[in-house]
Amino acid sequence: MSSSQPFEQSSPTAGGDATKRSKFTYRQLAHLALSSVTCPLRVIAHIDLDAFYAQCEMVRLGLPEDKPLAVQQWQSLIAVNYPARTFGISRMLTAKEARKLCPDAILQHVATWKEGDVKWAYHKDASANMATHKVSLDPYRLESRKILACMKGCLPPDLQRVEKAGIDEVFLDLSAQVHSILLEHYPELSSPPKDLSEFLPLPPTTVLDWKADALVDLDVSETEDDDPDWDDVAILLGSEIVRDVRAAVREQLKYTCSGGIAHNKMLSKLGSAHRKPNQQTVIRNRAIQQFLSDFKFTKIRNLGGKLGTQIVDTFETDTVSGLLEVPIERLKQKLGDETGSWVYQTIRGIDQSEVNSRTQIKSMLSAKSFRPSINTREQASRWLRIFVGDIYSRLVEEGVLENKRRPKTINLHFRHGGQTKSRQMPIPLGKTIDETILFDLASKLLGQIILEGNVWPCANLSLSVAGFEDGITGNMGIGGFLLKGDEAKAARENDYRPENGASDRPEKRQQTEHGARSIQGFFSKQPGTDESEKLEGSHGEIGEIGDWPFDEEDNITATHQIHAPQSGFKNASITSYFCKQCNETFESDNSFQSHNDWHFAKDLHDEDRRLSHTPQPRPKPGPGKKKNKGSKKDAAKSEKGQSKLSFG
Ligand code: TTP
Ligand code: CA
Ligand code: CA
């Protein structure tokens, strides 16, 4: 917090009528300290790095800030810095097109793992070698971590609540910190009356100094002459904090970012994108309707994907103001009770979702689509080594060496001729996970798939680890000794367990299942519970539903709404493709197809997670089928069922 006062102090009566009270009560003020999601004084910020990957490259290469630079992945651009944007360069262009617009621009290819290598590197020839290289986002992940640590370092340890919402963005719940600043600045607030439902005095200020913040215009019914109330003061204090956080990131790490400060997550996120780069936008409660009415609702968090499209089709409008006309009953009738009410509230700026600082990783995935397909076990093995290296380095960051956290299962998905074969096995307890162990397990899974025959050529391979659990710190390996009987045996033998008997998953079946899901199904996670939707992508980043569209050749890096692998896509024109799910256009068939693969792998990943999180009832022996207790094989099988129950 900077020492400067963000507002002019004046006597309590300066605002005019001393008998006038705030519209907030002492009880509501108390709720601010608890970061209560229903508190009307709540202050939430969203901070998003400007042109993130591009800035990472600028900083890494030590380039002057006005140098145009874009980050290239094969022939596509995945991030474009602001100087390059002034030349008309955007993510929609190919590297070649960008080069034409600005011959001086630096087009930096992302780091890659080269087939057979054990470490990623910046390879000069990467863009021409899509078949033998795999993208590594490690450099950006590392920077992301530094930035997060820097931001956290600016906030009081006991009052901070920080949610990493993507590789380059965070939500901050500033309520508790703002509460403590309020009490510090206004001692009269710290002696509440007996009756907490009494209204607070009005803030003793008339003019709030918003510094260089972009202030969203007030609603029509409000004027700047209206006396500010405590919600204005709270948001102003929040904006001061965000300004300081951004300045620290800039000073210590050289990155610029943009911020949004508002009453909730949804508004703060719209705010951070409102004015970029290197600015922050404040949306006061008195400006919410004005701010939202200008928006297409498809820009709102969670309304970008399928649900948004469904609403546009049903109500024949894509604007917030158009949808505001629709009565709640009609929304409920068309979208279902839960979703209908949620939409009704959201477009009115109401969002009670929590800023969730418990962003623990649930799974990690490393994947590659092959163009051309690969045809031998040796080739597949070389990629497995890379996947293992990729996953292992992230496991180390997660504290697997200290046994802080460890995954329980390892999964391999193998795509051949439109079908994906999957195998999963437990990661044996008792030993610290290392690359050799992971590679051995992955190879066994691969061997099992190959044994089935008729598996080549392979179009996509992905390895994941899941079911993270807290380990026994300082007591490495003890878990193995605590295992008894069959469980220990299964662990020793690395026995594998076909998933629910459905090891082959034809794409068709997936499509039907997902396609048949109702809109409520797509939206079953209501605000406030969205942490359950979080997942660790292939490159370690956590996204939110419909929040963070990606065009990644072979990486899963964000959570998307679950959808039919193919049906979310359609041609936007003859030469470009559009992913409705992500609001992204793809110029080449190749990148679109890769993106499609991405969704497919993601769906599989989600399905795995669902399976491993849903307790499966143990199959009872059918009538006439007696369980053969004497058979070792059967004992091992029942053990597998048991371990399934405990996953998740
Ligand atoms: P964004 O925050 O969406 O975009 P940005 O940081 O590049 O630019 P802005 O200033 O508008 O915020 O995404 C963060 C990073 O994620 C981006 O730098 C690169 C990566 N990314 C992709 O790889 N593909 C994509 O389609 C998108 C949207 C992002
Ligand atoms: Ca960004
Ligand atoms: Ca972002």
Pick the atom of ligand 1 nearest to 54's CA: 18
Render pLDDT for 133-182 as a digit per residue (tens, 0 to 9): 999 999 999 999 999 999 999 999 999 999 999 899 999 999 999 999 99
How much is the pLDDT for 469?
84
At 604 the pLDDT is: 52
Q: Print the domain residue range for 503.
A: 472-508
Please report which confidence band the pLDDT of residue 35 belongs to, taking 50, 70 and 90 as the band edges: very high
Measured over the CA atoms of residue 507, residue 594, residue 141 and residue 432, the dihedral's sign is: positive
For 274-285, write each residue's pLDDT tens digit.
999 999 999 999
pLDDT at residue 605 is higher than 80: no
Q: Is 497 a member of any domain?
A: yes
- Tokens 């193995």 belong to which residue? 480
In whole angstroms, give the CA distance from residue 20 to residue 222: 17
Exposure of 302 in the CB half-sphere (CA atoms within 13 A): 24
- What pLDDT is attached to residue 625? 38
Residues 6 or more apart whose CB falls under 8 angstroms from that of 306 comprise 519, 522, 561, 563, 568, 580, 581
Mean pLDDT (the chain, rounded): 76
**Is the CB of 549 inside a 6 Å radius of any atom of ligand 1?**
yes
pTM of the model: 0.69
For residues 73 and 553, the answer to whether their CB atoms sit within 8 Å is yes
Residue 501 lies inside a defined structural domain of this protein? yes
Q: What is the mean pLDDT of residues 521-529?
A: 27
pLDDT attached to residue 645: 25
Task: Give the ligand at the shortest distance from the Cα of 269.
Answer: 3
The answer to whether residue 403 scores a pLDDT higher than 80 is no
Instruction: Find the 168 Cα to ligand 1 centroid distance in Å.
Output: 8
Check pocket membership of 558 for ligand 1, CB cut-off 6 A.
no
Helix (H, G, I), strand (E, B) or coil at 354: coil
Residue of the CA atom closest to atom 25 of ligand 1: 550
Q: How far is residue 628's CA from residue 626's CA, in Å, rounded to a whole number?
A: 6
Q: Is the peptide bond before 372 cis (omega within 30 degrees of 0)?
A: yes
569 sits in the region (left: phi over 0; alpha: psi -120 to 50; else beta) called: beta
CB atoms within 10 A of CB 546: 25
- The length of the chain in residues reads 648
> Mean pLDDT across the stretch 597-621?
48
Distance CA 239, CA 264 (A): 13
Task: Assess contact for 308 and 297: CB atoms under 8 A.
Answer: yes
Residue type, 157: P
d(CA 471, CA 212): 48
Distance 386 CA to ligand 2 centre (A): 28
pLDDT at 536 exceeding the cut of 70: no
pLDDT attached to residue 179: 96
Peptide bond into 498 cis (omega under 30): no
The pLDDT confidence band at residue 601, using thresholds 50, 70 and 90, is: low
In whole angstroms, give the CA distance from residue 564 to residue 507: 9
Pocket test for ligand 1, best of 78, 551, 591 (most atoms within 8 A of CB): 78
Q: Say yes or no to pLDDT of 103 above 80.
A: yes
Instruction: Report the C-alpha gap between 441 and 436 in whole angstroms.
Output: 9
Asked if the model's pLDDT at residue 598 lies above 70, the reply is: no
399 lines ligand 1 (CB under 6 A): no
Q: Is the pLDDT of residue 559 over 60?
A: no
The SS3 of residue 494 is coil
Task: Determine whether the shortest distance from the Cβ of 276 to ligand 1 is under 6 A.
Answer: yes
Q: Using most ligand atoms within 8 A of CB, pick from 46, 49, 50, 52 the residue to mutate for ligand 1.
A: 52
Does 203 map to a domain? no
Indicate if ligand 1 lies below 6 Å from the C-beta of 586.
no
Query: 49 CB under 6 A from ligand 1?
Result: yes
CA 515 to chain centre: 23
Q: Which of 505, 586, 588, 581 has the alpha carbon at shortest distance from 551?
A: 586
Which of ligand 1's atoms lies nearest the C-alpha of 276?
Answer: 10
The string of DSSP letters for 107-128 reads EEEPPEEETT-SS-B--TTGGG
Contacts of 461 (CB under 8 A, 6+ apart): 367, 368, 370, 374, 380, 383, 384, 387, 412, 413, 414, 415
Q: Which of 60, 75, 140 is nearest to 107 (CA)?
A: 75
pLDDT 10s digits, 303-351: 988 899 999 999 999 999 999 999 999 999 999 999 999 999 999 999 9
Cross-strand pairs, 422: 413
Atom of ligand 1 nearest to the CA of 168: 14
Indicate whether 640 pLDDT > 50. no
- Structure letter (DSSP) for residue 94: B
Q: Closest Cα to atom 3, ligand 1: which residue?
A: 548
Closest Cα to atom 13, ligand 1: which residue?
Answer: 52
Would the pLDDT of 473 be above 60?
no
Range with the lowest mean pLDDT among 206-210, 295-299, 464-468, 624-628?
624-628
Task: With a cut of 90, say whether residue 79 has pLDDT above it.
Answer: yes
Given a contact cutoff of 8 angstroms between Cβ atoms, the answer to whether 335 and 343 are in contact is yes
Residues 6 or more apart whose CB falls under 8 angstroms from that of 403 comprise 432, 471, 472, 473, 474, 475, 476, 477
- What percentage of residues in the chain have a pLDDT greater than 70? 69
Helix (H) or strand (E) holding 578: strand 577-579
Quick check: is 532 in a domain? no
Give me the DSSP letters along 153-214: HHS-TTT--EEEEETTEEEEE-HHHHHHHHHHH-GGGGS--S-TTSEEEPPS-S-B--TTPE
Nearest to 238 by CA among 291, 160, 327: 160
Distance of CA 341 from the midpoint of ligand 3 (Å): 27
Is residue 541 within 6 Å of ligand 1 at its C-beta?
A: no
Between the CA of 273 and the centroid of ligand 3 the distance, in Å, is 9
- Half-sphere exposure of residue 504: CA atoms within 13 angstroms, side-chain side: 12
- Buried residues in 461-489 as b, exposed as e (16+ CB within 10 A): bbbbbbbbeebeeeeeeebeeebeebbbe
**What's at 92, amino acid-wise?**
M
SS3 state of residue 532: helix
551 lines ligand 1 (CB under 6 A): yes
Residue 192 and residue 201: Cα distance in Å, rounded?
11
CA–centroid distance, 94 to ligand 2, in Å, is 20
The reply to whether 480 falls in a domain is: yes
- Our measurement of the distance from residue 23's CA atom to the centroid of its chain's CA atoms, rounded to an integer in Å, reads 36
598 pocket-lining for ligand 1 (C-beta < 6 Å): no
Which of 550, 577, 582, 594 is the best mutation target for the ligand 1 pocket, counting ligand atoms within 8 Å of the beta carbon and taking the most?
550
Could you tell me if residue 484 is inside a domain?
yes
Using most ligand atoms within 8 A of CB, pick from 46, 47, 48 the residue to mutate for ligand 1. Answer: 48
pLDDT greater at residue 222 or residue 505: 222
Q: Is residue 74 part of a domain?
A: no
Whole-angstrom Cα distance, residue 325 to residue 10? 43
- Structure confidence at residue 359 as a pLDDT band (50, 70, 90): low
- At residue 570, the 3 state secondary structure works out as strand
Token pair belonging to 1: 């917090």
* pLDDT > 80? residue 585: no
How far from 273 is each of 197, 349, 415, CA to CA, in Å? 37, 16, 38
Extract the tokens encoding 52. 């993130």
Whole-angstrom distance, CA of residue 191 vs CA of residue 255: 42
Q: Into how many domains does the chain fold?
A: 1
Give 95's contacts (C-beta < 8 A, 6+ positions apart): 70, 72, 75, 76, 77, 107, 127
Residue 494 lies inside a defined structural domain of this protein = yes
* 18 has pLDDT over 70: no
- Give the DSSP H or E segment for 395: helix 377-397
Q: How far is the CA of 168 from the centre of ligand 2 (A)?
A: 6
Indicate the range of 4-18, 468-482, 625-639 predicted with least confidence.
625-639
What mean pLDDT is predicted for residues 8-28? Answer: 67
Q: Give Cβ neighbours of residue 267 (< 8 Å, ≥ 6 apart).
A: 44, 260, 283, 288, 291, 292, 349, 351
Kindly report the protein residue whose alpha carbon is nearest to atom 26 of ligand 1.
Answer: 550
Token pair 């300081």: residue: 244
Over residues 9-20, the mean pLDDT reads 51
Contact 489, 441 (CB under 8 A): no
> How far away, in angstroms, is 557 Cα from ligand 3 center?
12
Which of the pair, 331 or 609, is modelled with greater confidence? 331
